[in-house]
Structure 1
Amino acid sequence: MRAAVADMFPETNGRTGRWVKWVRRQLLGCLLLALPVVDAIGQDVIDPEARTVVQASGFLDMYYGFDFNQPASNTRPDFLFNHHRHNKIHANLALLQLHLDQDRYRANLGVMGGTYAQRNLAHEPKLLRHVYAANMGVALNQRSSLWLDVGVMPSHIGFESAISADNPTLTRSLAAENSPYYLAGARLSWDASPNWQFAALVVSGWQRIRPATGNSLPGVGTQVTYTLDARFSLNWSTFIGTDDPDRNRRLRIFNNWYGTFQATDRLSLFAGFDMGMQQTAKGSSAYDVWFTPVVIARYRFADKWHLALRGEYYADPDGVIVAPETGQGFSVVGLSANIDYAAFRHMLCRMEARWLGSNDAVLPRREAMARDSMAVIGSIAVRF
């Protein structure tokens, strides 16, 4: 390497020579510093003594969606945060991550772009809108079963994440779209046994990196997971906090239950139910309530092919989470069919047809509003 750098910048005399020598030293230093990063891309870097693993990874989800309502803004309903652009090819999520894992400490850093980031983090400061994850953790016991993690991390709520290839369907359920994808704060997690996991969180708010303006009250959360084996798992997650400034603070209490079931070698079932309540006004004993059930069945009918069917309902009559411009509250039922083809080991091709219907005109149709919506979305997702 030294010879290669020397060939690029041969020795000279005088002031120019001193400048060239300085450039050579800086370039050589940069190349030496870059070696571990280059070596980490696409493979693990392992220190045998410390048993430390550093890994780089990436994910890209490109999609095209067509909404038969043809909304004038080319944007699907504002309660959808993934694959929401109409009649254009876009990247839903372009993600680069670095992971560090060791017996007693760990760290994650992820940066992202795409229409998901643009829409879901629009309320965050501009410098934070591309942060997917930025957290570090330390084991608090010798068995590394008790961990404290701090920073920006994926939410403990729900069975669907922002990475579409990890989910049973291409688009996210209404429950997932309208509950936190990420949280910022501290998480204490405990693997009590192979079957039971527990967690407690203190966070900056309801899907917020920076707390809501004027809010000094942190949110808290809990999680209990029971895993019988690879075929059966149950989860209960909670959030208690507020999304208001102190002057008109309303308490929000939220529960998420879900189960995943491997019914047969080919059939997987997912069932979830969310229920939330929020004070109607500061200090009030009255609460507005919203809830949403979702059921998904996924069937592998060939080695590389899956079919998924989803039924869901979202009821928010007082507009706590979803507040239509009509002021009539929000109540929507949804049905979808999904077909997946795993073309290669790291590539997933998906197609989904999704219908949403409501008793009220809350879905955009051209320049007006409608009671139903039909959309078809195709995606190619790649991991690297």
Structure 2
Amino acid sequence: MNNVKVKALGAVLAALAIVDCHAEENIAPGEGTLFRSVFGETLERDYGITVSSLLDIAYSRNNRSNHSERQDGLSNFPITGMSDEGLELGSLHLFVDKQIKGPFISRITPLPGPKADDFSFGFTAEVNYGRNAQFAATYGWDRTLGVNELDGAKAQRDKDYFLSFPNFAATAYVPYGPGFSVMAGVLGPALGYEIPPNIRAARNPFASKTYAFVSEPGDVAGVLVSSRLYNGDAGIFGVEAGVVQGWNNLRDNNDDKSVMGALRWRTPDMNTWIDYEFIVGNEQNDSFSDVQAPPSRIVSPSGQFKQQHSLNGWHQFDQRWSMGAEVVYGHQSGDGKASTVDVVNGPGFDGATWWGANAVVTYQFRPDISWSLRGEHFSDPDGFILFPTTAARGNFNALTTGFRYDVNKNVSLRPELRYDWFDPKEHDRPYGNGRDRDRLGVMVETLVYF
């Protein structure tokens, strides 16, 4: 197959599988080592503020793009995670956090243990620079920064870098009743099984993401309240609810808010969890003077309801085997009137529906080496929710396999092999710039924590 060095990838995977069995059993995390080495440990020790960084780079190729497309960038589309072929600086992250002391990590999980009795205040901030920062920008927040105001075609051709602030929020714990964690600001909603970025604790086994990941909002702006309602023999149960401006939106352009929330259950040993997460609300643009596409590609003078739901979970079978899975469903309403316009397909938009399912199984050879296999199916019969990566109408399918090798406390390698195929509703061909209905891709990602 064109340009895909499958044999070379196989050699890499084999080498990782048989690497010296006397490697260090427990690798101490390298997050924050650079900051502490320069500025010391006073900030973290005395104030509980941590500063760390993550460099996420990869080299990838697929068998469907031609030479000029690889040179122009985004030739892996509609595959996301790393969208350029060749060597890509996906993202360089800076994280600054002050954790609150409570029984709930907002957007993530309720925790076991006793309830905290004291007020606690903190914050979270993230800076993202690189190719992927283009897709993490928020309307009314960082999208209009000078570095981001680039011509789209030229930015693709030149493989330009972007700058975003995906998380910039204040946090607090209020010990009344069961205890409440509050988060206010710009934040990633963590809606779905995979959540950005690729920090060590994230449940992202691969550099490339699922189609379900693309269908979910990247950022929201508003207030989120979390609480652990039960902690006992039947498990740990938490609930979250929030009011936000909309999908990737700080500047409200339709005078309607969206509601997001979650129900989260864990076993007492935290070896099994199930989450139901959702975001609902009118997401149309009121006029063409302020179109926030692609997350809101409908323009209408009346409200057009949009909803996204995710049911996902994870289970640890034993010390080596674990599995995660997700089912997603979404719908964008449309009244079919001439005044309700899809900016891609024109007036008379009458709605779109999408759904998907994916699962990943992981085998932990050693503390520093794991293997994963992921399968997925995603149905987008209206070619709506995966835009702008693709507007193809039909069913997307993929199988991905690869390894994670923690070389040391600072560096991890993640080689992967991915095969995608598409069942069209009519004539669409989403791969190879509209020429093909399947693709084979290889990627080697390097994660540097410092």
Q: TM-score, normalised by structure 2?
A: 0.69
Q: State the secondary structure of the residue aligned to 1:95.
A: strand
Decide which structure has the larger Cα Rg and report it. Answer: 1
Q: Which structure: greater strand fraction?
A: 1
Q: Is residue 2:411 matched to residue 1:344?
A: no
> Structure 1: how far apart are the matches of 2:239 and 2:40?
33
> Structure 2: how far apart are the matches of 1:114 and 1:70?
22
Counterparts of residues 278-293 of structure 1 (less than 5 Å):
278-281=332-335, 287-293=351-357
| Residue equivalent to 2:45 | 46
Counterparts of residues 165-176 of structure 1 (less than 5 Å):
165=200, 166=202, 167-176=204-213
Counterpart of 1:259 (choices 280, 293, 313) is: 313
Contact 1:43 1:55 (C-alpha < 8 Å) held by counterparts: no
> Structure 1: how far apart are the matches of 2:443 and 2:74?
13
> Structure 2: how far apart are the matches of 1:348 and 1:74?
25
Q: 1:281 to 1:114 in 2, by over 3 A?
A: same
Q: Higher relative contact order at CA 8 Å, sep ≥6: structure 1 or structure 2? A: 2
| Residue equivalent to 2:54 | 59
Counterpart of 1:198 (choices 231, 234, 239) is: 239
For residues 34-90 of structure 1, give each alpha carbon's deviation from its aligned partner in whole angstroms, at most 9, with x where no partner exists: xx998766775333xxxx411111111111111211252432354444211012x12
Q: Is residue 2:171 matched to residue 1:137?
A: yes
Counterpart of 1:110 (choices 126, 134, 149) is: 126
Q: 1:44 to 1:161 in 2, by over 3 A?
A: farther
Q: 1:217 to 1:38 in 2, by over 3 A?
A: farther
Alignment length (residue pairs): 341
Contact 1:99 1:108 (C-alpha < 8 Å) held by counterparts: yes
> Structure 2: how far apart are the matches of 1:309 and 1:125?
35
| Residue equivalent to 2:89 | 91
> Structure 2: how far apart are the matches of 1:244 and 1:41?
49
Q: Which ranges of structure 1 fall in alignment gaps of 5 or more residues?
A: 1-35
Q: CA RMSD in A?
A: 2.8
| Residue equivalent to 2:273 | 233
| Residue equivalent to 2:440 | 374
Contact 2:179 2:227 (C-alpha < 8 Å) held by counterparts: yes
Report how far residue 370 of structure 1 moved: 0.8
Q: State the secondary structure of the residue aligned to 1:311.
A: strand
Q: Which ranges of structure 2 fall in alignment gaps of 5 or more residues?
A: 1-34, 102-119, 149-162, 287-300, 341-349
> Structure 2: how far apart are the matches of 1:306 and 1:168?
9
Report how far residue 155 of structure 1 moved: 1.2
Counterpart of 2:251 (choices 200, 210, 224) is: 210
Q: State the secondary structure of the residue aligned to 1:119.
A: helix
Q: 1:258 to 1:173 in 2, by over 3 A?
A: same
Q: TM-score, normalised by structure 1?
A: 0.81
For residues 89-146 of structure 1, give each alpha carbon's deviation from its aligned partner in whole angstroms, at most 9, with x where no partner exists: 1221210011123541110111111111123438662338510210002222258830
For residues 308-352 of structure 1, give each alpha carbon's deviation from its aligned partner in whole angstroms, at most 9, with x where no partner exists: 101001101112312589976232111111111111123210101
What code does the residue aligned with 1:65 have?
S
